[in-house]
Amino acid sequence: MRKEISRRDFVKASGALIVSFSAASFIEPSVWAQGPFDTHRSHVDPDKLDSWLAVASDGTVTAYTGKCDLGQGMYTVQTQLVAEELCVSLSNVKLIQCDTSVTPDQGTTSGSQSTPTNFNTRNLAQAAATAREALVAMAAPKLGVPADQLTIENGVVRAKGGQHIGYGELIGGKHFNIAVSSTAKRKAPTQWRVLGKPLPSLDRVALMTGTFEFVHNVRVPGMVHGRVVRPPEIGATVGNVDEKSVQHVPGLIKVVVRNNFVGVVAEKQWQAAQAAKDLKVTWKPGPGLPAQENFYEYMRKQPSRDLMLVNSKDVDDRLKASSRVLKATYSHPYQAHGSIGSSCAVADVQADRATVWSATQSVYPTQHGVSALTALPLDSVRVIFVRGSGCYGLNAADTVSFDAALLSQAAHRPVRVQLTRHDEFISENYGSACVIEQQAGLDAGGAIDIWACETWTASLGGRPEYEKPGNVITGMLAGFDPETITPRTAVEPTEELRNGNNAVPSYVVGCVNGKCGGAGTIRSERVLTHAVKSPFFTGPLRSPLRLQNTFAHECFMDEISSYVKADPVAYRLQHLRETRIIDVVKAAAKAAHWDARPSPKPGAARMGTVSGRGIACVAYEGDNGYAALVAEVEVDQAAGQVHTKRFVVAHDCGPISNRDGLRNQIEGGILQGTSRAVGEEITWDDRKVTSVDWQSYNTLPLGIQLPVIDCVLLDRPAAKATGAGETAITLVAAAIGNAIFDATGARLREIPFTPDRVKAALAARA
Amino acid sequence: MASISLRVNGHDHTVDVDPETPLLYVLSDELQLRGPKFGCGLAQCGACTVILRGHAVRSCVLPVTAVKEEVTTLEGLGTPEKPHAIQQAFIDEGAAQCGFCLSGVILTAKTLLDENPKASDEQIRESMSNVLCRCFTHTRMLRAIKRYQAERA
């Protein structure tokens, strides 16, 4: 049962909003939100220290962050960060995550940006450092000792003579009333006592004992249940809704139709499910879908929005003149986020205000979307993050939040909506399908001196951000347009190398206007990207486009090294000049006891089970983390089955905040990457999506023979902190593909590496 | 609607629901339990798993009227203050990311090892072959299961 919380649990002093501490290790968002609406802090100014931190009279610290825990461990490491910078124990810090009424607007928790955003020289880290310095400055006159002679221990400022004063006494319950200082001194990693330690994640006990509150568990007074009725075919529109068809369903409260959005609300969840199943809707058919079997060809013929990322303007001439030119085309399917729990949200939309409990990565943008959908003023909408099932990007958390808001507004009741598995699969924002065409020219010595890459990515909608609720299906059905592709010829790069999608391979110099931001040595370079309109909604899926592009770059690099009969590791190093990527390649090869020789493995049998190894590396987004991955596989050539036996990863994310959490992300990323590489693919027929459940969409279950995963974690305390959740997964498909080639001499250029594709590639060997 | 009695985690309850209602909906909506979760509603993923007569059962497809025995959910094993040994093994191994799948993982493994304490790795894999974790925390989860197996021996 939901716990009630009374006003006395909220300590409101001088306007500072402080949560009192209870025995529970978590402040549950639904409980937190049951204070009256006057907790609303409509202008949470990120420049003010009080927006980030409050100290209660007992010295405990409440910190407010706009970056949330999606299962990736951000709750724990951000708590460690605040404890570290403020010199208090972990248990004296309570973190409030992502609530439009109380936390600063930090946009979206995505893109491996949470650690760079909050752990370097801004935001939460800088706020905590500012608070520590302010507290010491306050203590100095009281203790009669200059600030530079004071030390802090667990929230108590101490002088050598033994005098001391606690944080609670210094500021307890009062505002700091100062700005976040950009010059407040951060603690050096060498001084860390809480950060940098492999502390157990703080949510562990609650998760394992089934007491953790997910958004799926939020229950508010008067809450009823909604279900949506999605168009059965892509692009279908509502012809007629026969409300009488569900009048027999007990507990039915309302059939809701708004433009092409259809849903039902009932007293109980099962009743809502029955009503959604029985509701007779006549749909006008959609325009139909392009055939899946030649979809990659179709993509390349569509009008496109083009972007030139790097162009030395000598590529065509030099390729013509080159005696040895290699070409290859790679393709990557649409893939689902496929969260284990289908997405869920609870909304309470009243005449003059709305509260939405949502697992969105973007509470502030969702607040804007709900405001647009409900026509309520922005300041009257509160969106509170409550963790959902792991999302890995833009799953259906945003769209179901809109569903709940629309249904609640129509039903005049708080409504909980959880999508069916089918609904989630047919209408989430898939990771984009991509085609990547590579060309390289070799010099007389066998080194690459020309690299040209052209990519096509399918795109429709995306994150709703602040202005585009139509970027997810609910907004579109309710009448808002999704962002789509406006064709445009290529614009040449002007400022500096932008490699946020890793469209530019690591091996080129990446020169734009004389500044060369690439990690490699190849000077004749061109990367042209085409975005084309997708028939399906798309959105960021863990390592969005970075994974697709890296798969093509790293497999192509392997193809070239095989062609010139070079060792894939040595050949990579020959074309790299950035220290950090070189270091991870060397570290991975060393830890894997890399067998230095060209691929494929000499003397491999063409029948039976054979083994091989492959490598791939990346400078994630150009400079947001570095990793190299060695994969060792066995290929059952008769069955076309690929078994991964061992992975060795070398990983550099700057200073490591929590080694255990980092390993967890890397291990999970590698296996998720394996599942995506060998099995995951959205499928469709001429009208509708046909991968609609866990039988028609492949995922690797727990009962697989697990590979060994060895992690080499390079700690770089002096470097800036980078993201770490998406680096390793970026490499998996390429490393496996290269290992399959090493084992068999067969090159897989299309993901996923299903048994049929493996067998076809084996049959095509010379 | 019908008045239905059931015993869950040592407590008796009477609920007023449509007899066709799946057990999961009763557990999470009527009894407000948080352990079993709706993952797919198709008995394909395991997130809704509960224990009935020593077997791991998927509550999302089981009509509540078919339940005659006591139901044990993830929160019925142990408490945050005193976790069950298998829960403690998962805590010690840090075997979760988002944690949404844990009812399927923990309860399936527990019922297997309660019935067959000496289950081979192959038998463990077999029993977990329909259990999904989309964060792919597989490595740690299998380690936790092995730790529990070693500790209960």
Quick one: CA dihedral A478, A480, A485, A486, positive or negative?
A: positive
Task: Nearest by CB to A209, from B36, B87, B126: name it.
Answer: B87
- The predicted structure's pLDDT at residue A222: 97
Please say which residue of B32, B48, B76 terminates a domain: B76
Q: Is A348 on the interface with B (CB under 8 A)?
A: no
- The predicted structure's pLDDT at residue A678: 98
Task: Write out chain B residues lying below 8 Å of A420, CB-based.
Answer: 41
Write out pLDDT tens, residues A279-326: 999 999 999 999 999 999 999 999 999 999 999 999 999 999 999 999
The C-alpha atoms of residue A464 and residue A366 are separated, in whole angstroms, by: 7
Please say which residue of B76, B109, B127 terminates a domain: B76
- The predicted structure's pLDDT at residue B153: 83
What CATH code is carried by the domain that includes residue B25?
3.10.20.30
Task: Write out chain A residues lying below 8 Å of B99, CB-based.
Answer: 71, 203, 207-208, 212
Are B134 and A699 in contact (CB < 8 Å)? yes
Within this chain, do residues B7 and B27 fall inside the same structural domain, yes or no? yes
Within this chain, do residues B127 and B137 fall inside the same structural domain, yes or no? yes
- A218's CB contacts (< 8 A; 6+ apart) are A29, A30, A346, A357, A386, A416
Query: Is the distance from CB of A468 to CB of A398 less than 8 angstroms?
Result: no
Task: Write out chain B residues lying below 8 Å of A344, CB-based.
Answer: 38
Task: Nearest by CB to A341, from B38, B73, B75: name it.
Answer: B38
The C-alpha atoms of residue B18 and residue B25 are separated, in whole angstroms, by: 11
Within this chain, do residues B22 and B83 fall inside the same structural domain, yes or no? no
Task: Nearest by CB to B38, from A212, A418, A700: name it.
Answer: A418
Are B87 and A208 in contact (CB < 8 Å)? yes
Q: Annotate A197-230 with b (16+ C-beta within 10 A) or e (fewer).
A: eebebbbbbbbbbbbbbbbbbbbbeebbbbbbbb
Within this chain, do residues B102 and B63 fall inside the same structural domain, yes or no? no
Are B40 and A271 in contact (CB < 8 Å)? no
Q: Judged by CB atoms within 8 Å, which residues 113-142 of B form the interface with A?
A: 124-142
Within this chain, do residues B44 and B89 fall inside the same structural domain, yes or no? no
Please say if the pLDDT value at position B15 is more than 60: yes
Task: Nearest by CB to B34, from A210, A250, A706: name it.
Answer: A210
Per the structure, the count of domains in chain B is 2
Question: How close A72 comes to chain B (CA, Å)?
Answer: 6
Within this chain, do residues B89 and B139 fall inside the same structural domain, yes or no? yes
What CATH code is carried by the domain that includes residue B136?
1.10.150.120
**Where is pLDDT greater, at A1 or B132?**
B132
Nearest residue on chain B to A674, judged by CA atoms?
A: B136
Please tell me the least confidently modeled range out of A25-29, A126-130, A181-185.
A25-29
Mean pLDDT of A330-358: 98
Q: Judged by CB atoms within 8 Å, which residues 254-283 of A form the interface with B?
A: 268-271, 274
Query: Is the distance from CB of A264 to CB of A272 less than 8 angstroms?
Result: yes
Please say if the pLDDT value at position A413 is more than 60: yes
Task: Write out chain A residues lying below 8 Å of B17, CB-based.
Answer: 268, 270
Are A389 and B142 in contact (CB < 8 Å)? no
Please say which residue of B49, B76, B103 terminates a domain: B76
Within this chain, do residues B101 and B131 fall inside the same structural domain, yes or no? yes
Write out pLDDT tens, residues A375-403: 999 999 999 999 999 999 999 999 999 99
Within this chain, do residues B64 and B121 fall inside the same structural domain, yes or no? no
Write out pLDDT tens, residues A467-487: 999 999 999 999 999 998 999
Write out pLDDT tens, residues A520-565: 999 999 999 999 999 999 999 999 999 999 999 999 999 999 999 9
- A731's CB contacts (< 8 A; 6+ apart) are A550, A554, A616, A617, A618, A627, A628, A629, A649, A673
Question: How close B28 comes to chain A (CA, Å)?
Answer: 8
Within this chain, do residues B10 and B50 fall inside the same structural domain, yes or no? yes
Q: How many CB pairs under 8 A join A and B?
A: 201
Query: Is the distance from CB of A438 to CB of A452 less than 8 angstroms?
Result: yes
The C-alpha atoms of residue B52 and residue A673 are separated, in whole angstroms, by: 35
Task: Write out chain A residues lying below 8 Å of B73, CB-based.
Answer: 210
Give the burial class of A311: count Cβ atoms within 10 A of its Cβ; 0-12 exposed, 13-18 middle, 19 or more buried.
middle
Mean of the per-residue pLDDT values for chain A? 94
**Domains within chain A, CATH numbers bracketed:** 7-192 (3.30.365.10), 215-286+338-427 (3.30.365.10), 434-763 (3.30.365.10)
Query: Is the distance from CB of A343 to CB of A763 less than 8 angstroms?
Result: no
How large a percentage of chain A has pLDDT more than 90?
Answer: 92
Write out pLDDT tens, residues A625-663: 999 999 999 999 999 999 999 999 999 999 999 999 999
Question: How close B80 comes to chain A (CA, Å)?
Answer: 6
Are B25 and A269 in contact (CB < 8 Å)? yes
Write the CA distances from A133 to A91, A185, A584, integer angstroms: 21, 8, 37
Please say if the pLDDT value at position A263 is more than 50: yes
Q: Is A210 on the interface with B (CB under 8 A)?
A: yes
Going by pLDDT thresholds of 50, 70 and 90, the confidence category of residue A121 is confident
Give the burial class of A323: count Cβ atoms within 10 A of its Cβ; 0-12 exposed, 13-18 middle, 19 or more buried.
exposed
Going by pLDDT thresholds of 50, 70 and 90, the confidence category of residue A43 is low
| B-interface mutation test, from A542, A702, A729, most B Cβ less than 10 A away | A702
Please say if the pLDDT value at position B3 is more than 70: yes
Q: Is B19 on the interface with A (CB under 8 A)?
A: no
Within this chain, do residues B10 and B72 fall inside the same structural domain, yes or no? yes
Domain coverage including residue B46: 2-76
Query: Is the distance from CB of A95 to CB of A43 less than 8 angstroms?
Result: no
